[in-house]
Amino acid sequence: MKVVIALLIFLACLVLSSTVAQSSTADPTFCDPKCAVRCSKASSDLCLKYCGICCEKCHCVPSGTYGHMGECPCYRDMKNRKGGHKCP
């Protein structure tokens, strides 16, 4: 009986941990279209690269092609090595 209860508790923990792990990663179907809009006027693929990195960490991308950083404070506050904005 104790083994069955221990097995059920273990399985419940396993299910809960996989749910948390899935929710902590950004879905490419969310980030890719948002970054495509954000970088539509950029002449370089670096915009898409950095937008994707920022989107994965922040789970949001500001609307439009420029500005609107207040919509996503995490995106706005990420800095590069030189102290400039990391996210386009």
pLDDT band with cut points at 50, 70 and 90 for residue 71: very high
10 occurs within a structural domain:
no
- The structure tokens listed for 80 are 């590069």
39 occurs within a structural domain:
yes
1 occurs within a structural domain:
no
Residue-range definition of the domain harbouring residue 33: 27-87
How many H-runs (helices) and E-runs (strands) does the chain carry? 4, 0
**Mean pLDDT in residue range 40-58:** 95
The amino acid at 55: C
**How many domains does the chain contain in total?**
1
21 occurs within a structural domain:
no
Please indicate, yes or no, whether the overall pTM of this predicted structure exceeds 0.75: no
| Nearest to 73, CA basis, from 86, 88, 84, 62 | 62
Name residues whose C-beta falls within 8 Å of residue 48's C-beta, 6 or more positions apart in sequence: 35, 36, 39, 42
87 DSSP 8-state letter: -
**Mean pLDDT in residue range 29-50:** 95
**Mean pLDDT in residue range 4-15:** 57
What is the Cα gyration radius of the chain?
19
83 occurs within a structural domain:
yes
